Structure 1
Amino acid sequence: MAPQNVFSMFRQSQVQEFKEAFTLIDVNRDGVIEIDDLKSIYGNLGKVPADSELKEMLKEAKGPLNFTTFLNLFGEKMGGTDGEETIRSAFAMFDEEGKGVLPEEYIKDLLENMGDNFTKEEIKQTWKEAPISKGMFNYVAFTAKVKGKQDEEEMAKA
């Protein structure tokens, strides 16, 4: 069976959003996301992971991380492979105490000021479904919700 064209996996508007995200991450604009690009983008977020963690992220691409590969990775993740753990791990990088929650205001600040900035209305819409309690955003429950599932352990925590 021939492999599916990655561009046909997404609506045109989604491809454009992914292209904007890719361009944001590809800091040096060479068409490939490399470790220095990741260091720069994480530096803008206030915390740069160890080189070993960044290298692990890039290993998922199984080759140069160009835009087509970037789309393929999203297609795999959205298709229900190991995306849930990857998303959770991305949030966990900012959770130094490992509690599974981050301050709501911190997340709002990131959404308003990093990358493709969210408007106040977009944040309001997102927050309608977000698991927030006592000013803390539960990224473990949120990740399960985004992926359309919650395993028994996560449901017990939520």
Structure 2
Amino acid sequence: MAGVSETATTDLEKRISDAFLIFDHQGNKTVDVREIGTILRYLGCVPSENEINEVISATELEDSNGTIHLSRFLPHVTQLLAEHKMEPASAEKLLKAFHILDPDGKGTLSKEYISKLMSEEGEPFTQDEVEEMMAAAVDVQSGEIHYEYYINSLMVDM
């Protein structure tokens, strides 16, 4: 991990270890592979399903019966985070994406249009994920997504 100080690495390792142990329900420094996405998100990552599966593949022991041990998870995820992998998109990147979806430059997008994109395109969101996003993004009075306002509210929460 070139360029990362030992203190920063130690602090990062402690954060990762603490997050991992929250989900260690057996108290044996292992978690179920189904918890990996949740742990990564808890750490502030925004992984795709493919990235979650890559972490699982890289850290799961062959005879582990679907569990991952901290000793394999910690160095792998420390390296990923030190390299700034799976970080959330910047406000500028989000705004650029919304501008692509809004070729007329109205500054708003319909709830129906975004819901359709989120559930049918790319890596589809679950219905619960779509509903959660809509609850935060849709202006109650207009029923539209004022995306600059929405992006600003996301950045405040980070």
Q: Identify the TM-score tier after normalising by the shorter chain.
A: 0.3 to 0.5
The TM-score normalised by the length of structure 1 is 0.47
The TM-score normalised by the length of structure 2 is 0.47
